[in-house]
Amino acid sequence: MTARFKDLALDATDHQALADWWCRAMGYVRRDSLTGDTRPDDWPVPIVDPDGNGPLIWLNPVPERKTVKNRMHLDVFGDPAELAELGATLIRTRDADIDWEVMADPEGNEFCVFTPR
């Protein structure tokens, strides 16, 4: 084996706020709230599925804003209207070519939203 999956990582200029946004959007929690750990505010923030089903996601602080389309993105099951109420932006609606919505989180990171089956 050359490599195996470990975690996901998202860059953000305000990684603290984006960690909170993704926690609200996906029902995740900050890992430190479960472990009792503390870390400086300028360190990456790990968020987790409290049920242990989803992957660990790191929100990493970066100085630059997002300027081009993501080459990798998250796919989630959810309700685009509810995500928009939380602050996501609808980029593309489902149509004859795609069976999902393309949205962006508050910092512009694209993700695809699928209807749960």
pLDDT tens digits for 16-38? 999 999 999 999 999 999 889 99
Neighbours of 42 (CB within 10 A): 8
Same structural domain for residues 23 and 59? yes
What is the predicted pLDDT for the residue at 71?
87
CA distance 48 to 52: 7
- Into how many domains does the chain fold? 2
Query: Tokens for 53?
Result: 């089903």
**18 exposed, middle or buried (CB, 10 Å; 0-12, 13-18, 19+)?**
buried
What is the predicted pLDDT for the residue at 96?
95
Same structural domain for residues 59 and 103? no
Same structural domain for residues 56 and 86? no
Same structural domain for residues 93 and 54? no
Same structural domain for residues 21 and 57? yes
Please state the pTM of the whole predicted model.
0.92
Same structural domain for residues 82 and 50? no
Cβ atoms of 25 and 86 closer than 8 Å: yes
Same structural domain for residues 45 and 92? no
Same structural domain for residues 83 and 115? yes
The verdict on residue 2 lying in a domain is no
Residue in the block written with tokens 């939380």: 86
DSSP string, 50-111: TTS-SPPEEEEE-SSPP-S--SS-EEEES-HHHHHHHT-EEEE---SS-SSEEEE-TT--EE
Enumerate residue ranges in the chain where pLDDT < 70.
none
Same structural domain for residues 23 and 57? yes
The verdict on residue 114 lying in a domain is yes
- Tell me which amino acid residue 14 is: D
Which domain covers residue 36, as residue numbers? Answer: 8-63
